[in-house]
């Protein structure tokens, strides 16, 4: 055996352990997502990474943005329901103070891992705005890192289209948002981002993100809606509904691409009756 092999083995195991740590933290963040339709952190992570790729960020930067997107609200863990449920404009002064601390709390948690220092910085900055009206540091313009500016845009959009008043652990069977209402919310979120591009949000990021969303809408329009047995799901299909367990855990979210890792998870949940044996997908 050469000397390199044990070293390579070690580095592979460390990389795996790092990926598992991130997955574990991501699962914890799901605890503060009870008032969203779908997965807020997964949406922000995936779309922010894609915007970063399109803006020419390096692979390492894209990875950092993807992880920061997944963990951006980790500082809200343990927050009372009253804060998790409300939009900032509806909060009392005290709730608002607590809410505005979450980027810093997240930064403190993530700083504990030396490999997550860059990610911690993006999490700290994800509520900063170009004109200095954000928090916690009231940074302006170029003081805000591109990754944080990207997460900010995706975050604002997803809050506008997917935040709900009901706790999905309590109300499992409430009807999904009708398509025309969803489309109105989509248009008003896009309009808000475009109207405030250059003032609050990075204009290039807004342009790239809106392009990405429009492309995805067009692609979905060309696909067919079908109920497919969970063991026959294939990559390229797009999940058409949110699937929760009976205790409110989101298994897969509407709009998520089917991945090879997703299939065995859905098969296992279907076997124990926690999700249907056939799921609705666009193919
Ligand atoms: Fe946040
Ligand atoms: Fe968020």
Q: pLDDT tens-digit profile of 52-91?
A: 999 999 999 999 999 999 999 999 998 998 899 888 989 9
Å from CA of 85 to ligand 1 middle: 13
Please give the average per-residue pLDDT across 162-167, as a whole number.
Answer: 74
Domains and CATH numbers, the chain: 17-222 (1.10.3210.10), 223-283 (3.90.105)
Please give the average per-residue pLDDT across 224-246, as a whole number.
Answer: 90
- Residue 83's CB: how many other CB atoms inside 10 A? 18
The span from the CA of 107 to the CA of 199, in Å, is 26
3 state SS of 197: strand
Å from CA of 218 to ligand 1 middle: 29
Q: Is 173 in contact with 62 (CB distance < 8 Å)? A: no
Q: How much is the pTM? A: 0.86
CA-wise closest residue to 48 among 208, 161, 233: 208
pLDDT confidence tier of residue 105, bands split at 50, 70 and 90: very high
Q: Is 71 in contact with 119 (CB distance < 8 Å)? A: yes
Please give the average per-residue pLDDT across 236-249, as a whole number.
Answer: 85
Ligand sitting nearest the alpha carbon of 101: 1
For residue 163, give the DSSP letter: B
Is the pLDDT assigned to residue 17 strictly greater than 70? yes
Å from CA of 267 to ligand 1 middle: 33
DSSP output for 228-245 = EEGGG--BTBEE-S-EE-
3 state SS of 159: helix
Q: Which residues surround ligand 1, an ion (CB under 5 A)?
A: 73
pLDDT for the residue numbered 245: 82
- Only one residue has tokens 């990610």, namely 119
pLDDT for the residue numbered 173: 54
The per-residue pLDDT for range 192-217, each reduced to its tens digit, is 999 999 999 999 999 999 999 999 98
pLDDT confidence tier of residue 165, bands split at 50, 70 and 90: low
Please give the average per-residue pLDDT across 116-122, as a whole number.
Answer: 97
Q: To the nearest whole number, what is the mean pLDDT of the chain?
A: 90
pLDDT confidence tier of residue 23, bands split at 50, 70 and 90: confident
Is the pLDDT assigned to residue 122 strictly greater than 70? yes
**Of residues 237 and 1, which shows the higher confidence score?**
237
pLDDT for the residue numbered 167: 66
Å from CA of 71 to ligand 2 middle: 9
Q: Which residues surround ligand 2, an ion (CB under 5 A)?
A: 73, 155
Please give the average per-residue pLDDT across 165-177, as a whole number.
Answer: 61
Å from CA of 192 to ligand 1 middle: 18
């Amino acid at each position: 055996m050469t000397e390199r092999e044990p070293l390579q083995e070690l580095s592979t195991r460390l990389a795996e352990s790092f990926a598992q740590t991130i997955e574990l933290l991501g699962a914890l963040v799901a605890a503060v997502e009870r008032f969203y339709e779908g997965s807020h952190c997964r949406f922000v992570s995936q779309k922010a990474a894609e915007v970063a790729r399109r803006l020419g960020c390096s692979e390492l930067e894209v990875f950092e943005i993807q992880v920061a997107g997944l963990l951006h609200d980790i500082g809200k863990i343990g927050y009372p329901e009253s804060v998790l449920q409300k939009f900032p404009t509806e909060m009392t002064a005290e709730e608002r103070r607590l809410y505005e601390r979450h980027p810093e709390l997240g930064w403190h948690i993530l700083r504990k891992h030396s490999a997550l220092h860059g990610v911690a910085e993006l999490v700290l900055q994800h509520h900063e705005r170009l004109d200095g009206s954000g928090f916690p540091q009231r940074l302006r313009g170029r003081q805000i890192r591109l990754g944080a500016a990207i997460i900010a845009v995706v975050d604002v959009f997803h809050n506008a289209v997917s935040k709900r008043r009901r706790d999905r652990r309590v109300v499992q069977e409430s009807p999904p948002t009708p398509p025309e209402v969803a489309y109105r919310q989509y248009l008003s979120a896009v309009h808000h981002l475009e109207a405030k591009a250059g003032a609050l949000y990075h204009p290039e990021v807004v342009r790239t993100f809106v392009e990405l969303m429009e492309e995805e809408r067009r692609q979905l329009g060309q696909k067919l809606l079908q109920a497919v047995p969970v063991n026959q799901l294939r990559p390229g299909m797009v999940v058409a509904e949110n699937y929760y367990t009976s205790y409110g855990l989101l298994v897969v979210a509407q709009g998520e691409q089917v991945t090879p890792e997703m299939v065995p998870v859905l098969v296992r949940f279907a076997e124990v009756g926690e999700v249907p044996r056939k799921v609705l997908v666009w193919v």
